């Protein structure tokens, strides 16, 4: 089997670290791993398959000889360096929002729209974490009954903001329990023992950028602009895994039992749905897992053809690192790299 030279941009961040771990766990055919980061992190060591590798500083010439470049360092870095990597001959899989809505750049979830990879572009966009887990569940249901409208409320872990946010939650929680002063640095308000209905910046329409990502990315990935989507996204004091309450209105009848059967056979989905035994998806159970979990599947009695779902997934894995690696795997499978 052919092996590939793989660069990971943002290698010391929360998602970058998870990308490297995922490459190892899935035994991706890596010939050379080239971890890249800012000058602040350059010189640090990371472990990959039992070997210590030094992190190099990200520069214009960092991509010589690279076949695949996984980016997870923010939109500004991606806009500057992703075209450089693509020009050097690498296939770029970018985790930022920089290119997601560009019409000529595929936005891909392999279980949902792998056909978008037919053309071999220089840059492929990895969708938003909260969007990924939702569309993995929605796509098989859409194929069965046609989705008319989606109303989603998210409960997103602090790891979606990065290492500093996770540390802030830990420190604030300790401070609250000790009766000490709470210091806020990452978020505008205390996150410990609190919920913030605010992820990313607010836009002129009153929605946040995160909420509009879910609206626009869902339509692009599903290939159907007629689907009505509205979202409210909130940050909760959880370290790992995003949870979502998803209300779906269909064009055709779809019973909870039918939905369970469909989702039980859907790729990347695991149904946990037995409320009588207190079995439903939990963030602590999804942490470290590859699947997207769904439960609390029940009829929405306020509309003719509606269901309510509870969807949970590890935002650093399926919501970011795993999906990016799966895109690369799918490209290899299709002979596109």
Tokens of 118: 């037919």
Catalytically annotated residues: 129, 242
C-alpha Rg value of the chain to the nearest Å = 20
DSSP string of 70-81, one letter each residue: EE-S-HHHHHHH
- Long-range CB contacts (within 8 A, 24+) of 267-272: 267/111, 268/111, 268/136, 268/292, 268/318, 269/111, 269/136, 269/137, 269/140, 269/293, 269/294, 270/294, 271/295, 271/297
Residue 112, H or E segment: none
Query: In which element (H, E) is residue 19 found?
Result: helix 14-25
Furthest-apart CA atoms within the chain: distance in Å: 60
CA dist 106 and 100 (Å) reads: 7
């Amino acid at each position: 089997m052919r092996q590939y030279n793989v660069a990971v941009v943002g290698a010391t961040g929360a998602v970058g670290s998870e990308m490297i771990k995922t490459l190892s766990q899935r035994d991706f055919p890596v010939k050379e791993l080239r971890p890249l980061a800012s000058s602040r992190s350059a010189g640090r060591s990371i472990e990959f398959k039992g070997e210590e590798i030094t992190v190099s500083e990200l520069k214009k010439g960092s991509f010589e000889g690279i076949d695949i470049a996984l980016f997870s360092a923010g939109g500004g870095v991606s806009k500057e360096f992703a075209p450089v990597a693509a020009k050097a001959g690498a296939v770029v899989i970018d985790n930022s929002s920089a290119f997601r809505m560009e019409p000529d750049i595929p936005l891909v979830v392999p279980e949902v729209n792998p056909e978008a990879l037919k053309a071999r572009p220089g840059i492929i966009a990895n969708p938003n974490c909260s969007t990924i887990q939702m569309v993995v569940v929605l796509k098989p249901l859409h194929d069965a009954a046609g989705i008319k409208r989606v109303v989603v409320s998210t409960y997103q872990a602090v790891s979606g903001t990065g290492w500093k946010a996770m540390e802030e939650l830990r420190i604030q929680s300790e401070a609250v329990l000790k009766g000490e002063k709470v210091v806020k640095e990452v978020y505008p308000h205390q996150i410990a023992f609190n919920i913030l209905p605010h992820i990313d910046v607010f836009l002129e329409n009153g929605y946040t950028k995160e909420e509009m990502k879910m609206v626009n990315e869902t339509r692009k990935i599903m290939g159907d602009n007629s689907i009505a989507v509205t979202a409210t996204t909130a940050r909760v004091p959880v370290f790992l895994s995003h949870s979502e309450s998803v209300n779906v209105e269909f064009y055709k009848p779809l019973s909870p039992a039918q939905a369970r059967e469909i989702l039980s056979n859907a790729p990347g989905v695991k149904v946990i749905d037995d409320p009588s035994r207190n079995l439903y998806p939990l963030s602590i159970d999804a942490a470290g897992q590859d699947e997207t979990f769904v439960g609390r599947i029940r009829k929405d009695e306020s509309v003719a053809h509606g269901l309510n779902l509870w969807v949970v997934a590890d935002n650093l894995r399926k919501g970011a690192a795993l999906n990016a690696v799966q895109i690369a795997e799918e490209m290899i499978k299709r002979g596109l790299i």
